[in-house]
Structure 1
Amino acid sequence: MADGRIDGLRQTPPMRLFRPYPELGEPRTVVVGNVAGGVVGGDRLAVDLSVGAGESLLATTQAAEKIYRSDGATASMVIDLSVAEDATLEWLSAGTILFDGSRLHRTTTLDVAATGRLLFGETLVFGRLAHGEVFASGALRDRIRFRRDGRLRWADDLALDGEVLDSLDAGAGFGGARSLSTLLFAAPGAGKAIEPLRPLLEADGDLRAGATALDPDLLLIRVLAADPARARLLVGSVWTALRSAHLGRPPRMPTIWAI
Structure 2
Amino acid sequence: MELVFNGSLKLIQLENSHIKLSSFLLVVFYFPTTLLFPEVPSSLKKALLYLMTTRPGSGWHGSLDLVYSCERDTTYLTHALVKAPLKVQRPFYPEGKSVCHSVILHTAGGIVEGDSLSQTIRLRENANTLITTAAAGKVYRSNGKLAKQIVRIKIESGACLEWVPQETIIFNGAIYQQDLRVELAPGASWLGWEITRLGRSARGEKFLEGNWRSHTEIWQQGQPLLIDRQWLPAGEAIINSSLGLAGQPIVASLIWIGKPVSQNIIERAQTLWSDKQYLGEAGVTQTQARGLLCRYRGSSTADVRNWFTGVWQLLRLSLMKRSVIKPRVWM
Aligned counterpart for 2:83 among listed residues 4, 8, 12:
12
* SS of match in other structure, 2:210: strand
Correspondence for 1:2: 69
* SS of match in other structure, 2:305: helix
Which stretch has the larger CA shift, 50-59 or 236-245? 236-245
Correspondence for 1:158: 230
C-alpha deviation, 1:24, in angstroms: 2.9
Aligned counterpart for 1:83 among listed residues 155, 158, 172:
155
**Per the alignment, do residues 183 and 169 of structure 1 end up closer, same or farther by CA in structure 2, a change over 3 Å counting?**
same
* SS of match in other structure, 1:11: strand
Correspondence for 1:74: 146
Which stretch has the larger CA shift, 93-102 or 26-35? 26-35
1:188 aligns with 2:259: yes
C-alpha deviation, 1:216, in angstroms: 4.5
Aligned counterpart for 2:291 among listed residues 214, 218, 231:
218
TM-score by length of 1: 0.93
Correspondence for 2:241: 170
Contact 2:225–2:289, Cα closer than 8 Å, also in 1: no
C-alpha deviation, 1:205, in angstroms: 6.7
Identity, % of aligned positions:
25
Q: What is the rounded CA distance, in whole Å, between the counterparts of 1:165 and 1:232 in structure 2?
A: 26
**Per the alignment, do residues 102 and 96 of structure 1 end up closer, same or farther by CA in structure 2, a change over 3 Å counting?**
same
**Per the alignment, do residues 11 and 238 of structure 1 end up closer, same or farther by CA in structure 2, a change over 3 Å counting?**
same
Contact 1:178–1:228, Cα closer than 8 Å, also in 2: no
Q: What is the rounded CA distance, in whole Å, between the counterparts of 1:7 and 1:252 in structure 2?
A: 24
After superposition, give the CA deviation of every residue in 1:108-159 in whole Å (9 maximum; x if it has no partner): 1011111001110110011112222122211111111111233112111111
Contact 1:78–1:107, Cα closer than 8 Å, also in 2: yes
Correspondence for 2:179: 107
After superposition, give the CA deviation of every residue in 1:160-208 in whole Å (9 maximum; x if it has no partner): 22x4332122123222221111111011213543122121233957421
Q: What is the rounded CA distance, in whole Å, between the counterparts of 1:237 and 1:255 in structure 2?
A: 16
C-alpha deviation, 1:86, in angstroms: 0.6
Identify the structure with bigger relative contact order (alpha carbons < 8 Å, sequence gap 6+): 1
Q: What is the rounded CA distance, in whole Å, between the counterparts of 1:142 and 1:165 in structure 2?
A: 20
**What is the correspondence of 1:174-253 to structure 2 with a 5 Å cutoff?**
174-190=245-261, 192=263, 193-202=265-274, 206-253=279-326
TM-score by length of 2: 0.73
Structure 1 residue runs without a partner (length 5+): none
Q: What is the rounded CA distance, in whole Å, between the counterparts of 1:251 and 1:205 in structure 2?
A: 21
* SS of match in other structure, 2:157: coil
Q: What is the rounded CA distance, in whole Å, between the counterparts of 1:12 and 1:167 in structure 2?
A: 37
Correspondence for 1:138: 210
Q: Which letter does structure 1 place at the counterpart of 2:290?
A: D
Q: What is the rounded CA distance, in whole Å, between the counterparts of 1:135 and 1:241 in structure 2?
A: 34
**Per the alignment, do residues 66 and 153 of structure 1 end up closer, same or farther by CA in structure 2, a change over 3 Å counting?**
same
1:118 aligns with 2:185: no
Contact 1:177–1:206, Cα closer than 8 Å, also in 2: no
**Per the alignment, do residues 191 and 134 of structure 1 end up closer, same or farther by CA in structure 2, a change over 3 Å counting?**
farther
Contact 1:141–1:158, Cα closer than 8 Å, also in 2: yes
Correspondence for 2:9: none
Q: Which letter does structure 2 place at the counterpart of 1:223?
A: Y
Correspondence for 1:127: 199
Q: What is the rounded CA distance, in whole Å, between the counterparts of 1:58 and 1:207 in structure 2?
A: 28
* SS of match in other structure, 1:243: helix
Structure index of larger Rg: 2
Correspondence for 1:92: 164
